[in-house]
Structure 1
Amino acid sequence: MLTRVADERYPARVATIAAQITAANDQPTVHTLFLEGVTALGATSAVFVSFVRDDGDLAACRFMLACDPAWARIYVQEGHFVHDPWLAYAAHHSEPIVASALNLLDNDHRRVIDLAARAGFVSAVLVPAHSGAGHSRISLLCLGSATPGYFEDAGLPRLRVSARMLALELHDWWLARIRRDLIAKARITPADLVLLQHECQGHSSKKIANEMQVSKSSINSRFQRMNAKLGVGNRRMAVQLAVEFGLILK
């Protein structure tokens, strides 16, 4: 790896690919850029997964693969999501590390890592991507090689910088797509977003009604309809969801 990352054009190649992700209109285009980025970084296998922290529901996950798809089928069928030490690391850390630096605590962890090794992740780098405070959606870019010790060399610091760039662009693209899908599916309007922003600022129904020159009961009814559209039980949960997906700023 050291020879590849020592090339002065190395970061520029990855940056050129990462810069195209934001403007991509669809998932196939992003996946193509993901594959190009993985190759430019020098990995021979990779997985990008975006998930909600502390949520055991795989339906909330988004995967992109640059490895044997049989790995993903086994991973899902055997419920490895719950015991994955790499995802556990990403949920609580932002620093990219080599996977071999993690301590495997039990046999469940070892089964997950053994499966990854069979899919080409004998040596691996974990690159978390977070959206900052208030966001529970986390992403993880896993770069792999079938060569033992491939990433455990002096080229790692230079790779980490470029890998972070790719991981963050992929994370932001997924978050933007989820946000667009949520707005379309729930039919969230600009007026709904104004209400959510008021609630986020701690304003009461009475205060919101006074500012918008409508009745308090009208405000309460609008919140009830919006909660139903978002599939949540109350306005506090509606705000939490809106902040999580970047609909409003906290």
Structure 2
Amino acid sequence: MINYPNIDPVALSLGPIKIHWYGVMYLIGFIGGWWLGRIRAQRPLSGWKPEQIDDLLFYCALGVVLGGRLGYVFFYGFDYLITNPGSIFKVWQGGMSFHGGLLGVLIAMGIYARKTGRSFFQVTDFIAPLIPVGLGAGRMGNFINGELWGKATDLPWGMIFHDPRAGDIPRHPSQLYEFALEGVVFFLILWFFSNRNRPPMAVSGLFLICYGLFRFAIEFVRVPDPQLGYLTLGWVTMGQILSLPMIIAGIGFLGWAYWKR
């Protein structure tokens, strides 16, 4: 078993101003996505100019932050929000929903596509391979915060988090599993898949399939949010319920893309 390193969630203190590692991870995700976006835009026949990535990042950031926070408080903490309305602004405490962030980004990309005269899937196919960088950074932020740990395990890499809520028992470091799958593996799949000319919707479809499958699988070893617990059958979580439509939609998009071609 391994002891959790008890990392200070505050990266830097400047008087009353505290810069949290969770926020730093989001910044890394945005900068990484911007850099990779400019690389993609420089490819022959990409249809994009590197300077257009700046505006694209702005729209993405708004979608991620607003959608992610609103998604969390409505999907996972609505009862708490009713009694503590101010909690919606406390993003430094964690509490960001990927599924809410995805909806926010889709809305933002729809607005961006309309503004720039592109089709919706031209935009989503372009940004899909950039998103795993932010996902991986966000999961590392969860690990630094010591949150979203997994179920008890007797595997050699089980980690003791020394948190009263987790108890002094080895648990799956599910944040690191998600970093590996949603960050590293997910990025490699989408990056190399999108390196070749693909029909519209194909990259977006593969994005939905991969994330949905990875998240659905990780939920089996991750402790569900305590305010929700298991929703049915003693093992189904909110994360799995929200991921299932992604898998179905992704299969539909991918199949339709190649059938049309």
TM-score range, shorter chain: under 0.3
Q: TM-score, normalised by structure 1?
A: 0.25
Q: Which has the higher helix share?
A: 2
- Bigger Rg, which one: 1
